[in-house]
Amino acid sequence: MTSDLRHDLLLALDEELLKGGVLLSEWCTFIVKDADTAFVAGAFLATILTAMSGIETYLRAEQIAPGRSRIVDLIDGSDLPTNLNEDLHLLRRYRNQWVHVKDPADDESLLMEPGRIESELERMAHLAVHALRRTIYSFQCVQE
């Protein structure tokens, strides 16, 4: 998928999911913009990490949970639909594999199957930008 197609995909998601208005903190807005930039540029791992940061920031603001609440607790404590929570947990676990690498010397799959890894990252990045929008657009102020 080209950068133009990825940009168009984000616009289509906004068109599909945003039916009213949402209030986002400046932190969340900045992070969402960065996740979008990474996605359009094809930086899929950066997209996943940044999208999850945006989701966490949004949930922290919605639940008024400053401090050290874990993202797993923020997801479980949210009023989001069950299928979205399941997607967020899937993304959280996938992100954790990259953030908390158990054995950095175990890099054979990265060396032997870079195409498979890149394809997997692209799929997960697509899920991440979609889940990010489903999350930040979940409680709209004004609806049709």
Q: For residues 100 and 52, is the Cβ–Cβ distance under 8 A? A: no
Per-residue model confidence (pLDDT) at position 74: 94
CA 47 to CA 120: how far, in whole Å?
Answer: 13
CA 131 to CA 129: how far, in whole Å?
Answer: 6
Q: Which of 24, 69, 52 is nearest to 129 (CA)?
A: 52
pLDDT category at 120 given cuts 50, 70, 90 is very high
Tokens, residue 133: 């929008």
What is the pLDDT averaged over residues 24-40?
A: 97
Per-residue model confidence (pLDDT) at position 69: 83
* Model pTM above 0.85: yes
The pLDDT mean for the chain works out to 93
Domains of the chain: 3-136 (1.20.120)
- What does the DSSP 8-state code read for residue 21? -
- Write out pLDDT tens, residues 126-139: 999 999 999 999 98
